[in-house]
Amino acid sequence: MGEFVRLEVEDGIGTIRLDRPKMNALNVQVQEEIRAAAAEATVRDDVKAVIVYGGEKVFAAGADIKEMQTMSYTDMVDRSGPLQSSITAVARIPKPVIAAITGYALGGGCELALACDFRVVADDAKLGQPEILLGIIPGAGGTQRLARLVGSAKAKEIIFGGRFVDAQESLAIGLADKVVPAAEVYSAAREWAAQYVGAASYAIRAAKEAVDRGLEVDLETGLEIERMLFAGLFATRDRETGMASFVEQGPGKAKFEGK
C-alpha cells in the first residue's frame, strides 16, 4: 500500500484509491504507486473487476506542475517513459476497469481515466486535456487514447483548445459512458463492476485483449488475434461449464469458477 494510492478489495471488486490532497496531483510518487496498485490488482485472484477512484471531491486534476516545472529536457527524456507506462499499467489490467470520476479529471487525470475501460462521470464533473495552456501536449497517452475514443477531429479540438468538457458533452461524444449525480458515482461504478464478479474471468480477459490489441493493428492481424484467443478458451473449465449449462439449462445460468 502506497502513501497516496492504495488497492482496497471488497466482494471481488478492487478499488484503486487516489488520496493525495487536495487535488490528487499525479507527481512521480503517485505515478509509481498507481503502477504498483495496477500490478497488485492484476495478480490478485480475489479481484475480478477494478474501479479507479479519487474520492468524493476530485478524480485527479492533473500532473504536479510544480514538480514538472523544475525538470529539464533530459530529465523529461528519462521520465516520460515511466510516466506513460505507469498509466498504461492501468490499461493493461486484464480485468474490467471503471473510472469513477468526480470533480475534475484533467491532464494526467484525464489520461488515467482514458486508460480505463469505462467511465462513470458525475453530472458536475469536468474532463479535459489542458496541457496546451502550459505550452506542452498530453504526454501520458492523451493524444492517442482520446483520439481512439472520440475520433481524431474531436480529440484535436479538445486538445488544441485546452478546454474543459462537461459531463453531458462527455456522454454525447463517448468520453463518458454513464453520467450520474455526484453522490452516486462510486456506488454506480460498483454496481457496474459487480456484474463481472461471477463472470468467466478468462473469457473477459481474452475479450479485452482482443479488442485492445486489435485496435493497434490492421484488420487481418486483429482477426488472427481474435482467432487465437477464441481457440485458447477451449482449454478453460469455464468454457466446459458454460456450454454444459447452456445445453442443459439454457443461457445465463452457468456458475463460473474463473478457471
The residues assigned a catalytic role are 111, 131
131, three cell numbers: 496541457
Confirm if 122 and 181 have CB atoms less than 8 A apart: yes
From the centroid of its chain, how far is CA 156? 21
In degrees, rounded to 5, the angle at the alpha carbon of residue 209 between the alpha carbons of residues 19 and 62 is 25
β-strand partners of 18: 5
Q: How far apart are CA 24 and CA 244, in angstroms?
A: 48
Distances (CA, A) of 27 to 142, 157, 165: 17, 27, 23
Confirm if 233 and 203 have CB atoms less than 8 A apart: yes
From the centroid of its chain, how far is CA 28? 19
107, three cell numbers: 491532464
List Cβ neighbours of 32 (8 Å cut-off, separation of 6 or more). 2, 82, 86
β-strand partners of 63: 26
